[in-house]
C-alpha cells in the first residue's frame, strides 16, 4: 500500500496544519443558524459536518473533489478498451484530492486484487442465514464477520498512540473495499444461482472482476458496473449512509463496524433500498396493466393511485437536490447508448416525463425530479439481473469507496467524537416562555 499511503499521509499532514490555522483565525465564525423546525424535521440544511471527499450542490448535483460526473467520465482513467471511468481512480481522487494517472489507478487495482482474499468464516456466517434473508442483511452479516480482520481494533487494544489511528484505519479501508465484491457476489450466487460460485479473475479491474464474479461477462455489463460503482460512491457527508459511517467511526469503532452501520442505513427504503423499490413498483405496474410498455396516461393513473394509497413514488425526490440528479442522467445516457429500444428503459424515460408535474401539483414536494435510484434497476434488468432485492448490495459496494475514504480523513484530521445536543419538547416549551435556556 506504500505509495498511496505515503501520499495520503503527506496530504493529511498539510491539511492538519491548514485546518489548525483556519480554526485559530476563524473558529468562532458562525456557519449557520438552527431553527426549531430544523430540529424537529430532519435537520435539513444545517451545516454541521466536514466531509472532504465530495460536495453536493442542490442545482448541479454532486462534485467529487470539484469534479462533476460528466467531468469524471471524461478525465478518470478507463479500463483497456473501456469508455467508463474506473472506480479505483475515483477512490484515489477522493483519498488524495488529485486526479490519478492511468498508472496510479492501476496501482489501486493491483492493491485491491492482492488484498481480496475473503476468509472462510465469512462465507460460513452468510451460509448460516436462511436463504430468504434479504441480501442486504446477508451483506452486513458478511461485513461484520470480516471484522475479525481489523488492524485498527487490534492496534487500539494494544494501546496505539492516537496520532497513528489513521494508519490502521487506512489499512482496514483498503482491505475491506478489496473484499466486498467477493462477499457481494457470493451472496448473489448463493441466493439466486444455486450456490454456484465463480472464482475471481485476477486480470480484471475491481468492478470488472465484480461483474465477472456475479456471472455477467458481457463487456458492456462490465462497463455498466464501472459507471455504477463510480456514480454511487459518495454524496457528501449528511446522507444517512455517509453520516452514519462517520458518526459510528467517531466513537473509534473500526471501519468494519462503522461501514456496516452505514449500510444498515442504506438498506432503508427512503435511501438506498429505493433502487429495488423502483423496479418492484414498475413490475407491479406492468402486471396490473398487463403490458410491458404502458402508455403515459396509464403511468399517470398508476402514479396517482400510488400517491392516493399514501405511498411515495420511489426514485423521485431528494432531501438536498432540486433538479434532475446527474447520476440519473449518466445512467439514462448509458441506456440510450447501449439499449435504446429496451422497453423497461423506455418506461423509465416515460415515467420521467409523467411523474414530475404530478408531484409538483401536490404543492408540498420540494424536488419532483428523479434521483439515482429511478434508473439503475432498468439497466441491470436489461442484462438479466432481475433479482431486484439484490440491487442495494451493489449500491453498498460502491458506497464503500466514499464513506471509507472519508473515514480515513476523519481519523487523519483527528475529528473527535460526534455528539450534537438534543432537546425535549418540554424544554422547548419552557424556552419559548422565556423560562429556560436550551443551548449552552
Q: Which residues are catalytic?
A: 271, 318, 373
| Distance of alpha carbon 297 from alpha carbon 294, whole angstroms | 8
**Residue 317 found at the interface with ligand CMX (CB under 6 A):** yes
Segment near ligand CMX (CB under 6 A), from 101-109, 340-348, 363-371, 406-414?
A: 363-371
Residue partners of 408: CB distance under 8 A and separation at least 6: 8, 95, 166, 169, 170, 173
DSSP reduced 3-state for 47:
coil
How near is the Cβ of 362 to ligand CMX at its closest, in Å?
7
Write out the H or E segment, with its range, that includes residue 64: strand 61-64
Q: Residue 53, exposed/middle/buried by CB under 10 A (0-12, 13-18, 19+)? A: buried
**Residue 43 within binding range of ligand CMX, rule CB under 6 A:** no
Smallest Cα–Cα separation from 406: which of 274, 186, 242? Answer: 242
Residue 186, C-beta contacts closer than 8 angstroms, at least 6 positions apart: 118, 123, 126, 142, 197
The answer to whether the beta carbons of residues 234 and 402 sit under 8 Å apart is: yes
Which three three-digit cell numbers place residue 143? 461485513
Q: How far is the CB of 343 from ligand CMX (least distance, A)?
A: 22
Q: Determine the interface stretch with ligand CMX among 146-154, 256-264, 305-313, 422-430 (rule: CB under 6 A).
A: 305-313
Measured from each CB, the residue nearest to ligand CMX is: 317
Among residues 160, 174, 16, the alpha carbon closest in space to that of 95 is found at: 174
Q: Which of 371, 392, 398, 406 binds ligand CMX (CB under 6 A)?
A: 371
**At its nearest, how many Å lie between ligand CMX and the CB of residue 320?**
8
Q: Which is nearer to ligand CMX, 168 or 367 (CB)?
A: 367
Q: Taking the complex as a whole, how short is the minimal distance between the CB of residue 427 and ligand CMX, in angstroms?
A: 25
Q: Is 112 in the site for ligand CMX (CB under 6 A)?
A: no
Task: Give Dmax over CA atoms of the chain in angstroms.
Answer: 69
Which is nearer to ligand CMX, 47 or 132 (by Cβ)?
47
- Bridge partners for 63 per DSSP: 55, 68
Cβ-based nearer residue to ligand CMX, 252 or 389: 389
Q: Under the criterion CB under 6 A, does residue 318 sit at the interface with ligand CMX?
A: yes
- Residue 76 CB, nearest approach to ligand CMX (Å): 22
Which residue in 364, 419, 421, 435 binds ligand CMX (CB under 6 A)? 364
Segment contacting ligand CMX by CB under 6 A, of 27-35, 48-56, 161-169, 359-367: 359-367
Residue 245 interacts with ligand CMX (CB under 6 A)?
no
Q: How far is CA 210 from the centre of its chain?
A: 16
Give the DSSP H or E segment for 61.
Answer: strand 61-64
Of residues 371, 127, 134, 386, the one with CA closest to residue 264: 134
The DSSP element (H or E) to which 56 belongs, if any, is strand 54-57
Q: Is 319 in the site for ligand CMX (CB under 6 A)?
A: yes
Instruction: Report the length, in residues, of the chain.
Output: 440
Q: How far apart are CA 45 and CA 114, in angstroms?
A: 42
Beta bridge partners of residue 57, listed in sequence order: 61
265 binding ligand CMX? (CB under 6 A): no
* 247-255, 313-321, 398-406, 407-415 -> range binding ligand CMX (CB under 6 A): 313-321
Is residue 373 within the footprint of ligand CMX (CB under 6 A)?
Answer: yes
User: At closest approach, how far in Å is the CB of 367 from ligand CMX?
Assistant: 6
Site pattern 271..290 for ligand CMX (x: CB under 6 A): xx-x----------------
What is the DSSP track for 158-222? Answer: TT--GGGHHHHHHHHHHHHHHHHHHHHHHHHHHHHSTT------TTS-HHHHHHHHHT---HHHH
Q: CA 215 to CA 186: how far, in whole Å?
A: 11
Nearer to ligand CMX, 175 or 359 (CB): 359
Nearer to ligand CMX, 220 or 275 (CB): 275
| Residue from 314, 326, 377, 402 binding ligand CMX (CB under 6 A) | 314
Q: Does 430 bind ligand CMX (CB under 6 A)?
A: no
Q: What angle do CA 84, 52, 240 make, to 5 degrees?
A: 85
Candidate ranges 60-68, 138-146, 219-227, 368-376; the one touching ligand CMX (CB under 6 A): 368-376
Residues touching ligand CMX: how many (CB under 6 A)? 21
Scanning 100-108, 252-260, 289-297, 362-370 for contacts with ligand CMX by CB under 6 A, the matching segment is 362-370
What kind and span of H or E run contains 55? strand 54-57
Does 366 interact with ligand CMX (rule: CB under 6 A)? Answer: yes
C-beta of 47: minimal distance to ligand CMX in Å? 16
C-beta of 141: minimal distance to ligand CMX in Å? 22
Residues that bind ligand CMX (CB under 6 A): 239, 270-272, 274, 307, 312-319, 364-367, 371-373
Amino acid at each position: 500500500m506504500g505509495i498511496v499511503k505515503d501520499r495520503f499521509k503527506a496530504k493529511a499532514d498539510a491539511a492538519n496544519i491548514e485546518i489548525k490555522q483556519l480554526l485559530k483565525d476563524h473558529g468562532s465564525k458562525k456557519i449557520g443558524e438552527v431553527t426549531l423546525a430544523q430540529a424537529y424535521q430532519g435537520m435539513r440544511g444545517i451545516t454541521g459536518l466536514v466531509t472532504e471527499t465530495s460536495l453536493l450542490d442542490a442545482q448541479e448535483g454532486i462534485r467529487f473533489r470539484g469534479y462533476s460526473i460528466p467531468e469524471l467520465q471524461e478525465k478518470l482513467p478507463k479500463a483497456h478498451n473501456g469508455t467508463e471511468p474506473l472506480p479505483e481512480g475515483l477512490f484515489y481522487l477522493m483519498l488524495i484530492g488529485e486526479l490519478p494517472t492511468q498508472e496510479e489507478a492501476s496501482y489501486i487495482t493491483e492493491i485491491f486484487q492482492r488484498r481480496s482474499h475473503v476468509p472462510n468464516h465469512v462465507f460460513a456466517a452468510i451460509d448460516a442465514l436462511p436463504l430468504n434473508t434479504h441480501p442486504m442483511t446477508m451483506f452486513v452479516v458478511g461485513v461484520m464477520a470480516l471484522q475479525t480482520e481489523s488492524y485498527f481494533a487490534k492496534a487500539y487494544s494494544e494501546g496505539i498512540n492516537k496520532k497513528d489511528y489513521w494508519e490502521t484505519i487506512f489499512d482496514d479501508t483498503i482491505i475491506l473495499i478489496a473484499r466486498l465484491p467477493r462477499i457481494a457476489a457470493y451472496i448473489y450466487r448463493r441466493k439466486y444461482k444455486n450456490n454456484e460460485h465463480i472464482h475471481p479473475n485476477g486480470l480484471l479491474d475491481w468492478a470488472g472482476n465484480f461483474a465477472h464474479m456475479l456471472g455477467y461477462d458481457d463487456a458492456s455489463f462490465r462497463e455498466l458496473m464501472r459507471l455504477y460503482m463510480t456514480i454511487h460512491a459518495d454524496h457528501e457527508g449528511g446522507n444517512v449512509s455517509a453520516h452514519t459511517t462517520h458518526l459510528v467511526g467517531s466513537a473509534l469503532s473500526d471501519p468494519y463496524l462503522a461501514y456496516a452501520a452505514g449500510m444498515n442505513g442504506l438498506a432503508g427504503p427512503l435511501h438506498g433500498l429505493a433502487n429495488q423499490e423502483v423496479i418492484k413498483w414498475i413490475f407491479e405496474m406492468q402486471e396490473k396493466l398487463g403490458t410491458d410498455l404502458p402508455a403515459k396516461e396509464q403511468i399517470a393513473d398508476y402514479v396517482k393511485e400510488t400517491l392516493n394509497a399514501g405511498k411515495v413514488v420511489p426514485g423521485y425526490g431528494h432531501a438536498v437536490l432540486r433538479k434532475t440528479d446527474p447520476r440519473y442522467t449518466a445512467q439514462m445516457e448509458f441506456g440510450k447508448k447501449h439499449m435504446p429500444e429496451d422497453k423497461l428503459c423506455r418506461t423509465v424515460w416515460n415515467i420521467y416525463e409523467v411523474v414530475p408535474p404530478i408531484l409538483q401539483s401536490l404543492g408540498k414536494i420540494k424536488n419532483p425530479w428523479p434521483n439515482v435510484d429511478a434508473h439503475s434497476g432498468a439497466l441491470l434488468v436489461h442484462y438479466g439481473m432481475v433479482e431486484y432485492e439484490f440491487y442495494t448490495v451493489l449500491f453498498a459496494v460502491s458506497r464503500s469507496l466514499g464513506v471509507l475514504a472519508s473515514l480515513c480523513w476523519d481519523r487523519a484530521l483527528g475529528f473527535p467524537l460526534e455528539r450534537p445536543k438534543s432537546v425535549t419538547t418540554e424544554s422547548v416549551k419552557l424556552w419559548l416562555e422565556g423560562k429556560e435556556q436550551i443551548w449552552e
